């Protein structure tokens, strides 16, 4: 087990033993057979990862980090809402919209919001270009913020953004980030060292790399952190499997070539040295 696995187990046990159940209430999410997907949830959990000490990825089970990377590039680099621009099918169930050219989209969510241009004194830019501009021109700024929870457009999204806000703070040549998430599916995405954590850790590495900075800490705040009813058995089996695995170091992220421009990063530019997992859950069921 590595340090992130231990954080995962502690938080999992807290949700299992002290989480508030929404059983008996009306809930929105459904399993694919139509059954309501209930959860046990905790209010407000914060995890801190020091990226200078290693890459924060779970070893208890295989995390599809290249799929996670492809999705974060889809949102932050391509700024796309078309599922055809994604290398995986993970958003297909929420692609209930169509754009002018007939492509299936997730509506005005995620990449669509990041790609919207705003008028600044320095010119028109979208939120991603604003971050890159400030990291270069004014890294000491306390205003390096993104926010994609745009109330004006909430009615035109399949799913409202979950990880919706970031705030970067550069200290001592290190890029630190706060990630704010309103809702977190523990097994699929939001648990320590899982999909969402891996995504924003990768984004920090990319921003730091093109800005001549080192990576610092990621502070991940989740308002409603939950485990879905059908996921408890999956996690319990994973934990059983890990019982007598020894101590492990965190893997190291390598960017294989010098990249000058954030928009040039590709999935193939990354390597995770020392990422070993012997366990895979197989296909997990994701509540819709």
Ligand X SMILES: Nc1nc(=O)c2c([nH]1)NC[C@@H]1CN(c3ccc(C(=O)N[C@@H](CCC(=O)O)C(=O)O)cc3)CN21
Q: How far apart are the first and last CA of the chain?
A: 31
269 Cβ contact partners less than 8 Å away, ≥ 6 residues apart: 255, 256, 257, 259
User: What is the Rg, in whole angstroms, of the alpha carbon atoms belonging to the chain?
Assistant: 19
Tokens of 136: 């270069």
126 Cβ contact partners less than 8 Å away, ≥ 6 residues apart: 79, 114, 115, 116, 117, 118
Tell me if 232 contacts ligand X by CB under 6 A.
no
CB 193 within 8 A of CB 56: yes
Among 148, 163, 177, 238, binds ligand LAUPNLSC (CB under 6 A): 163
CB 168 within 8 A of CB 133: no
Which one of 19-27, 40-48, 149-157, 279-287 is the stretch in contact with ligand X (CB under 6 A)? 279-287
The binder of 133, among ligand X, ligand LAUPNLSC, none, by C-beta within 5 to 8 A per type, is none
Tell me if 159 contacts ligand LAUPNLSC by CB under 6 A.
yes
Residue 120's beta-bridge partner residues?
A: 123
- Tell me whether residue 115 or residue 139 sits nearer to ligand LAUPNLSC (CB atom): 115
Tell me if 185 contacts ligand LAUPNLSC by CB under 6 A.
yes
Binding to ligand X in span 238-257, by CB under 6 A:
none
Which are the catalytic amino acids? Answer: 162
Which one of 1-9, 142-150, 236-244, 278-286 is the stretch in contact with ligand X (CB under 6 A)? 278-286
**b/e per residue, 111-143, with b = 16+ CB within 10 A?**
bbbbbeeeeeeeeebebbbbbbbbbeeebeeee
Which one of 20-28, 110-118, 181-189, 242-250 is the stretch in contact with ligand X (CB under 6 A)? 181-189
Tell me if 183 contacts ligand LAUPNLSC by CB under 6 A.
yes
Among 49, 76, 91, 112, binds ligand X (CB under 6 A): 91
* Annotated binding residues for dUMP: 142-143, 182-185, 196, 226-228
């Amino acid at each position: 087990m590595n340090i992130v696995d231990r954080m995962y187990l502690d938080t999992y046990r807290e949700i299992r033993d002290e989480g508030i159940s929404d059983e008996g209430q009306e809930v929105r999410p459904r399993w694919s057979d139509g059954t309501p997907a209930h959860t046990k949830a905790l209010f407000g959990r914060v995890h801190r990862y020091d990226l200078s000490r290693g890459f924060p990825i779970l070893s208890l089970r295989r995390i599809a980090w290249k799929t996670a990377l492809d999705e974060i590039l889809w949102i932050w680099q391509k700024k796309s809402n078309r599922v055809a621009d994604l290398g995986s099918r993970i958003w297909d169930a929420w692609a209930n919209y169509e754009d002018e050219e007939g492509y299936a989209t997730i509506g005005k969510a995620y990449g669509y919001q990041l790609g919207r241009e705003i008028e600044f004194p320095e010119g028109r830019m979208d939120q991603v270009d604003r971050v890159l501009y400030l990291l270069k021109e004014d890294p000491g700024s306390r205003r390096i913020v993104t926010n994609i929870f745009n109330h004006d457009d909430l009615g035109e999204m399949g799913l409202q953004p979950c990880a919706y806000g970031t705030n970067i703070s550069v200290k001592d040549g290190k890029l630190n980030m706060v990630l704010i998430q309103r809702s977190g599916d523990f097994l699929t995405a939001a648990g320590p060292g899982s999909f969402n954590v891996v995504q924003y850790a990768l984004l920090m590495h990319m921003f730091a790399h093109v800005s001549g900075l080192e990576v610092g800490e990621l502070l991940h705040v989740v308002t409603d952190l939950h485990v879905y009813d059908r996921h408890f058995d999956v996690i319990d089996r994973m934990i059983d499997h890990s019982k007598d695995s020894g101590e492990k170091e965190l893997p190291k992220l390598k960017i294989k070539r010098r990249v000058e421009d954030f928009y040039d990063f590709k999935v193939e530019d990354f390597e995770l040295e020392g990422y070993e997992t012997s366990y895979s859950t197989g296909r997990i069921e994701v509540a819709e």
